[in-house]
Amino acid sequence: MLSLLFSTLLIISSILSSSWFLLQVYYYKSVKEILYKYQSLNRSPKISIIVAIKNEPIDIIEELFENLSSLDYENYEVIVISDDDEDYFRRILLEVKGNKIHLFRRDERKGRKAGALNFGISKASGEYLVFLDAEARVDRYFLSKIAVMLKDREAIALKLSVRNLNSPLGMAYAKTTDFSMKSMFLSRWEKGLFIFPNGSALAIKRDAMKKLMWREGLMTEDLDLGIRCVMHGIKIDYIHDIEVSTLSPLGIFDLYEQIKRWAYGSGELLFSSLRLAKFGLKGIEGIIYVNQWGIYSFFLFMLILTSTIDPIVKIPDLILLVTIILYSISIGIYSLILKAKGDFRTATATIWGSFFGYIQGLIRIKSDWKVTPKDKRKDVKPFLLYIFQYLLILFSFIDIYLGSLLQGIMLFLLSISIFIME
């Protein structure tokens, strides 16, 4: 009975995870890029750019201020909210030049990044609000394009690109980001599906934002905002030719931590996302999107679980092989379409970050929000990965000793996938 139960779960997990990879391929292959014609407006609505910062390198802040001070648009302001300590805040103040940038420091750092952004909204006076991260860089006509696109819309999600391509990791991350913007944003928007914005590339009318505000205390406040926009009937359009360039993580474990943070937020919002089911198939697709990090790693979770307990439940080797082959084929097709070049470890970091992050978010294990480092430093392997890789080796030896040879080999190979991330 147990063998049948866990065999069924393993098959379901393989089909679900594989289907998600193949669905992304379908989205990517069916995309039709749309470029807009921008026409001049009779008026220039005031636009407030809001940026939350904490522990950001001074050179990143200096470049941000320089970039946002040179925009070809008159009626705008930049609201920067700092959660830094007072001494560091004074250093940042020295970088403020001109009358467009307004820098504030919160005495009470409540609500994580969402709390800082809500504070920024209270200081902003613009009719339109634009949310960016500290490492964001835009072209000089950025706000002019936004003013045109928001004229007849409530909110728009913008294209993200990666600009630091001087490393194998940067190249791989850039390729993945480009794939994601075309498949998960442009293609889905063309098909009339719900768009869930990146908080680092979002423009929204003030009246719409005031109905929602950012929900404080969450790991991925932008994903939550996307869910609530759907529930409140606020449509988010995706504009593929308004671009915000960002930075790739510098180290493989920095990437792992970033993916883990996104996956944590996905797991944290599982029950919130289920409300989308009221919109039928479109809503169900939205639920799948919100929980994509859990779907990525669902088969990995079941593979580890069933292999570990195989000496007890005895899952047929044929079922194990078939599910692994199905999963491998889907990843192969995905990789072939992606044509990623650079650091192959990005795939491993993504899968393991999804695995740990989604589980922790689902069961609400307390996790601190960490800024992805943007300056060179030692890339430290998380202690959790050290522990888990040796646990996998231990259980692989136990499996082999108790006669579950194939399962033991699989656990050993999974442990090697963590080792090679170093």
The pLDDT assigned to 317 comes to: 93
Q: Distance between CA atoms of 382 and 44, rounded to whole angstroms?
A: 49
The tokens for 374 are 């943007």
Examine the domain organization and report whether 187 and 41 are in the same domain.
yes
Q: Which range among 35-44, 248-257, 373-382 shows the weakest confidence by mean pLDDT?
A: 35-44
**Does an H or E element contain 13, and which?**
helix 2-29
- DSSP sequence for 301-346: HHHHHHHHTHHHH---HHHHHHHHHHHHHHHHHHHHHHT--S-THH
Stretch 107-126: mean pLDDT, rounded? 91
Average pLDDT over all residues of the chain:
91
Determine, yes or no, domain membership for 262: no
pLDDT in tens, 158-195: 999 999 878 888 888 899 999 999 999 999 999 999 99
pLDDT in tens, 351-369: 999 999 999 999 988 766 6
Q: Model pTM?
A: 0.91
Determine, yes or no, domain membership for 92: yes
Q: Where on the phi/psi map is residue 72: left (φ > 0), alpha (ψ -120 to 50), or beta?
A: beta
The pLDDT assigned to 215 comes to: 93
| In 171-229, beta strands by DSSP E | 201-205
Check the CA dihedral 92-98-102-104 and report its sign.
positive
- The one-letter code for the residue type at 92 is I
Determine, yes or no, domain membership for 256: no
Examine the domain organization and report whether 154 and 174 are in the same domain.
yes
With 0-12 CB in 10 A as exposed, 13-18 as middle and 19+ as buried, what is 272? middle
Determine, yes or no, domain membership for 266: no
Examine the domain organization and report whether 241 and 196 are in the same domain.
yes
Examine the domain organization and report whether 220 and 357 are in the same domain.
no
Cβ atoms 236, 195 nearer than 8 A: yes
Determine, yes or no, domain membership for 264: no
| In 83-154, beta strands by DSSP E | 101-105, 128-132
Domain housing 309: 2-27+284-419
Determine, yes or no, domain membership for 47: yes
The tokens for 348 are 């491993």
Band of pLDDT at residue 93, cut at 50, 70 and 90: confident
Q: What is the largest distance, in Å, between two alpha-carbon atoms of the chain? A: 77
With 0-12 CB in 10 A as exposed, 13-18 as middle and 19+ as buried, what is 178? middle
For the chain, the domain total comes to: 2
Which residues fall within 8 angstroms of residue 379, CB to CB, at 6 or more apart? 250, 251, 252, 253, 254
CA-CA distances (angstroms) from residue 28 to 79, 82, 193? 36, 38, 14
The tokens for 403 are 């006669």
With 0-12 CB in 10 A as exposed, 13-18 as middle and 19+ as buried, what is 420? exposed
Determine, yes or no, domain membership for 259: no
Q: Distance between CA atoms of 103 and 158, rounded to whole angstroms?
A: 24
